[in-house]
Amino acid sequence: MLLGGNAAMADWAVNMTQGVTEISRQVYDLHMIIFILCVVIGIVVFGAMMVSMILHRKSRGAVPATFHENTKLEYLWTVIPIVILVVMALPATSTLQDMYDAGESDIDIEVRGIQWKWQYTYLNDDPAKEVRFVSSLSTPRDEIENRATKNEFYLVEVDEPMVIPINKRVRFLITSEDVIHAWWVPAFAVKKDAIPGFIHESWTIVDEPGIYRGQCAELCGKDHGFMPIEVHAVSEEDYEIWLAEKQEAARVVYETIGKEWTFEELMATGETVYQQSCAACHQLNGEGIPPVFPSLKGQGLAVGPIAAHTDIILNGKAGTAMQAFGTQLNPAQLAAVITYERNAWGNNLGDHIQPSRINEILSGGAQ
Amino acid sequence: MITEHPHDSHGPDKGLMRWVVTTNHKDIGTLYLWFSFLMFLTGGVMALIIRSELFQPGLQLVQPESFNQMTTMHGLIMVFGAVMPAFVGLANWLIPMMVGAPDMAMPRMNNFSFWILPFAFGLLLSSLFMEGGAPNFGWTFYAPLSTDFGPPSTTFFIFGVHMMGISSIMGSINIIVTILNLRAPGMTLMKMPLFVWTWLITAYLLIAVMPVLAGVVTMMLMDIHFNTAFFSAGGGGDPVLFQHIFWFFGHPEVYIMILPAFGVVSAIIPTFARKRLFGYESMVYATSSIAFLSFIVWAHHMFTVGIPIAGELYFMYATMLIAVPTGVKVFNWVATMWQGSMTFETPMLFAIAFVVLFTIGGLSGLMLSIVPADFQYHDTYFVVAHFHYVLVPGSVFSVMAAVYYWLPKWTGNMYDEALGKTHFWLSFIGINITFFPQHFSGLAGMPRRIPDYALQFADFNMISSCGAFLFGFSQLLFLFIIIKTIRGGEKATEQVWEGAHGLEWTLPSPAPYHTFATPPSDLNDAHG
């Protein structure tokens, strides 16, 4: 369905990418103009120094001149830089104006930074058709910890990429759940801080299909280096097919909430969810990294009353890194992971919770 | 006047208590410089831990949480513990000798401002051994990462910063009062050496912005412990407000770390070019302009926080303007070298490297001021390369140049020129191998402050790490050279350098414990 292109990676070696949007090419040109001007200035200044260091050395018998202060020269070397700066400022101003000219968008995507993943919501006037998913690093721990060979897209690959159509104006509404993150895709020349309490706007029109990768660009805690961005730009038809599939999948998930899950089903799903959403802090063995990330093995809420355990998973704990997963995971995933935590690593409480119960709690039902 | 026991015949106290109770500007200068060197090595070890982890992709040496503590502590220690105290140390040693004063204006306060520092950094470093670890939110400690999500040791960090701030403010007051009140009769402001001028301006910057830093960490303290919500969106506060306040301090802070360096280089280049500084007055005005501009450009560190276009344009234009006075300085140094009669002793080598590499850092700074391009550069290794170019071969090289230049005056012995030059070349090569490739990895898209990276950045990181080890270990040679010089060596003359001008060179070498008890009368040569 998607083009497996990595052409954008090819010219990433030593210079800024030209990118795949009108804006990103303007930015690249601007970067090259300033860069070349700086190189020329450097050559002139360092050239003069080199000449002086070769010719005017005592070992060659140079006798020091006595000149100092020359008003004309000093005016000259004040005015010339000002002229150069104006020459730089003009194209920079016009590019910036183009970037800030948002206009009417075709697609609105809410981008929400959450320690340490991105949640994308394709806004739709009809809430039933709203697609929401979390996109997190898919590189296996074994590659990070050097137990397996690193693949080509090491650390810049995700489980579920953002998908957008080409030639459409896509608006990103960028915000954060916890700390400040920054959503950056170099190929679009889009970098915007995701700040809790703010919704910032950015936009792009991609003209080439492909896979474009970026990373979080603002220090956001422990796994700042492990929250990549992957955007698949596809043809409009492919986008519509993808969107329809996602909407259908959302509907199916909704239906699974009603059914009665077996303990084994919950444990199996729970293990997957735990690895994706919990293991970064609480570790695969459940022992955490105390005192910042508490152990779940044989202690704390995971072996306490199930109501309190459910509450912290759904609503998080203010002032800590423990997030509110109620909005990130679907009820089936939530029920599964709670069940898993209560029965893994020798916790063996034997109890479980059903997705339907989670749904009741989320929709305001009493605990 | 009492003639039988002239004041300057009193030597230092005996034993270790000399250093604890001293009010002598030379002793305190020495304390500051050694403290700074110790911090330089401490922060350097952290830098080498960072570079070791980044030597190749994958996690090998440290886990991400320790990595973040290393980047944070490295930044804090280098900025507040190494660079700033080094310049205060130079100020203590040199300003009284340069303006013909017997000592600093407030000697007891001088002692106090130094002795706060070991406690401040003791507090900060002790957090490495606390439960939850040291601060891990970057030296810029952006809220809410540092408030709602910070480790318990954040409080120690806040008190540490408060103490450093008190120390800096007291030090600055002392420097300003000394310069304004203790100049030898007849020394007008425009007869002062540029090092004194740059420090006068720097001291005003410190007094203006250290209280702002104290304010912002106090607001953090309130948010963490007293349930206020200055920076918490959930309580009606504003995380971006933190950045505005921080950078209102932070931008002048970077000039605090570079203006005294300008002063050092403006003393050394004329000496070894055997020619007067080309434009003394324009250097003074350029320094003042840079200091003024430093207050009105802070948001150029925050181009991606969503500032409206009018704000972005203003901060871009204002930032670009800094290139003008900075250019004036660089052109002046080049014009001073032009048609001089140059020799290339170690201080001159460091000073020339300063001009070249600082200019490279300045030019990448100009690139960063261009907002649309900054969207691509921001928070990447391009920024890391930029500020390390202005801080390491900038500020740090100027301190090394100053040490080689004035060490004969301080100790009475010449340093070993061959070793000095070796130290220079190892540092020069090491620093460029470390930081030049970071421009490329940044442009290619590598974000800063990450413990592990995508494979396309591997080669540049490996080169960078090799350079860092070369630079780091070369500093042990620096330590060896300094100790060797203190312990002996060829005796230095009064003037030390053939082309040296200024009052400090009229004193014997080593400079006696008390100098200028009687103000000097011949001031014609005071600023060289």
- Residue B413 is given by DSSP the state B
Q: What six digits make up the tokens of B374? A: 């900054």
pLDDT tier, B484 (very low <50, low <70, confident <90, very high otherwise): very high
Does the pLDDT value for residue A367 go beyond 60?
Answer: no
Q: Which helix (H) or strand (E) holds B42?
A: helix B25-53
> Residue B21: what residue type?
V
Does the pLDDT value for residue B415 go beyond 90?
Answer: yes
Give the mean model confidence (pLDDT) for residues B341-358: 97
| Domain ranges (residues) in chain A | 22-100, 107-254, 257-362
Give the mean model confidence (pLDDT) for residues B147-161: 95
Length of chain B: 528
Cα distance between residue A214 and residue A184, in whole Å = 6
A248 Cβ contact list (under 8 Å, min separation 6): none
Give chain A positions within 8 Å (CB) of B311. none
Give the mean model confidence (pLDDT) for residues B2-12: 55
Give the mean model confidence (pLDDT) for residues A36-63: 95
pLDDT of residue A3: 38
- Per-residue pLDDT tens over the stretch B191-234: 999 999 999 999 999 999 999 999 999 999 999 999 999 999 98
Instruction: Please state whether the peptide bond connecting residue A291 to the residue before it is cis, i.e. omega within 30 degrees of 0.
Output: yes
Q: What six digits make up the tokens of B260? A: 């005294």
Give the mean model confidence (pLDDT) for residues A311-317: 88
Does the pLDDT value for residue A319 go beyond 70?
Answer: no
Does the pLDDT value for residue B51 go beyond 90?
Answer: yes
pLDDT of residue B437: 97
Lowest mean pLDDT among A15-24, B6-15, B181-190: B6-15
- Cβ of B444 within 8 Å of Cβ of A179? The answer is no
- Cβ of A223 within 8 Å of Cβ of B342? The answer is no
Give the mean model confidence (pLDDT) for residues B120-128: 97
Give the mean model confidence (pLDDT) for residues A208-233: 96
pLDDT of residue A102: 76
pLDDT tier, B3 (very low <50, low <70, confident <90, very high otherwise): very low
- Cβ of B59 within 8 Å of Cβ of A146? The answer is yes
Number of helices (H), then strands (E), belonging to chain B: the values are 18, 0
Domain covering A22-100: architecture: Orthogonal Bundle (1.10)
Cα distance between residue B135 and residue A213, in whole Å = 30
Cα distance between residue B73 and residue B52, in whole Å = 16
Q: Note whether B201 and B259 are within 8 A (CB).
A: yes
Percent pLDDT > 70 in chain B is 98
- Per-residue pLDDT tens over the stretch A114-152: 999 999 999 988 777 788 899 999 999 999 999 999 999
Lowest mean pLDDT among A178-182, B6-10, B27-31: B6-10
Q: Judge if A22-100 and A257-362 fold alike in CATH terms.
A: no
Neighbouring-strand partners of residue A212? A231
Q: Please, which residues 453-512 of chain B have a Cβ atom closer than 8 Å to chain A?
A: 453-456
pLDDT of residue A14: 85
Q: How big is chain A by its Cα radius of gyration, in Å?
A: 27
- Per-residue pLDDT tens over the stretch A168-183: 999 999 999 999 999 9
Give chain A positions within 8 Å (CB) of B331. 45, 77
pLDDT tier, B10 (very low <50, low <70, confident <90, very high otherwise): low
Neighbouring-strand partners of residue A201? A173
Give chain A positions within 8 Å (CB) of B57. 150, 154-155
Lowest mean pLDDT among A61-75, B272-286, B390-404: A61-75
pLDDT of residue B394: 95
Among the CATH numbers 3.40.50.2000, 1.10.10.1100, 2.60.40.420, 3.40.50.300, which is that of A107-254?
Answer: 2.60.40.420
Q: How many domains does chain B have?
A: 1
Neighbouring-strand partners of residue A172? A109, A202
* Ramachandran class of B44: left when φ > 0, alpha when ψ lies in -120 to 50, beta otherwise: alpha
- Cβ of B455 within 8 Å of Cβ of A59? The answer is no
Residue B475: CATH number of its domain: 1.20.210.10
Give chain A positions within 8 Å (CB) of B447. 184, 215-217, 224-225
Does the pLDDT value for residue A336 go beyond 60?
Answer: yes
Count of C-beta atoms within a 10 Å radius of residue A86: 11
- Cβ of A221 within 8 Å of Cβ of B278? The answer is no
Average pLDDT, chain B: 95
Range of the structural domain that residue B449 is part of: 21-506
Nearest CA distance, A261 vs chain B (angstrom): 36
In 3D space, the residue among B477, B511, B504 whose CA is nearest the CA of residue B346 turns out to be B477
Percent pLDDT > 70 in chain A is 95
Does the pLDDT value for residue A273 go beyond 70?
Answer: yes
Provide the terminal-to-terminal Cα distance of chain A, rounded to the nearest Å. 44
Percent pLDDT > 90 in chain A is 60
Does the pLDDT value for residue B178 go beyond 50?
Answer: yes
Of B149, B337, B444, the CB nearest to A56: B337
B151 shares contact with chain A (CB less than 8 Å): yes
Minimal Cα distance from A201: which residue of B?
Answer: B306
pLDDT tier, A88 (very low <50, low <70, confident <90, very high otherwise): very high
In 3D space, the residue among A291, A316, A348, A27 whose CA is nearest the CA of residue B373 turns out to be A27
pLDDT tier, A289 (very low <50, low <70, confident <90, very high otherwise): confident
Q: Which CATH number applies to A257-362? A: 1.10.760.10
Specify if B255 maps to a domain.
Answer: yes
Question: Of B384, B443, B446, which to mutate for an interface test with A (greatest number of A Cβ within 10 Å)?
Answer: B443
In 3D space, the residue among A214, A216, A169, A161 whose CA is nearest the CA of residue A194 turns out to be A216
Strand order through the sheet with A200-204: A131-135, A117-122, A107-114, A170-176, A200-204
Does the pLDDT value for residue B2 go beyond 80?
Answer: no
A9: number of CA atoms within 13 Å, CB side? 17
Report the complex ipTM: 0.92
In 3D space, the residue among B276, B252, B392 whose CA is nearest the CA of residue B336 turns out to be B276
Q: Is A215 exposed, middle or buried, given 0-12, 13-18 or 19+ CB atoms closer than 10 A?
A: buried
As annotated, the active-site residues of B are 74, 103, 139, 167-168, 251, 253, 255, 266, 300-301, 326, 329, 448
pLDDT tier, B4 (very low <50, low <70, confident <90, very high otherwise): very low
- Per-residue pLDDT tens over the stretch B86-103: 999 999 999 999 999 999
Give the mean model confidence (pLDDT) for residues B19-29: 96
pLDDT of residue A321: 77
Cα distance between residue A322 and residue B425, in whole Å = 50
Minimal Cα distance from B383: which residue of A?
Answer: A217
B208 Cβ contact list (under 8 Å, min separation 6): B252, B295
Specify if B521 maps to a domain.
Answer: no
Specify if B16 maps to a domain.
Answer: no
A291 Cβ contact list (under 8 Å, min separation 6): B131, B132
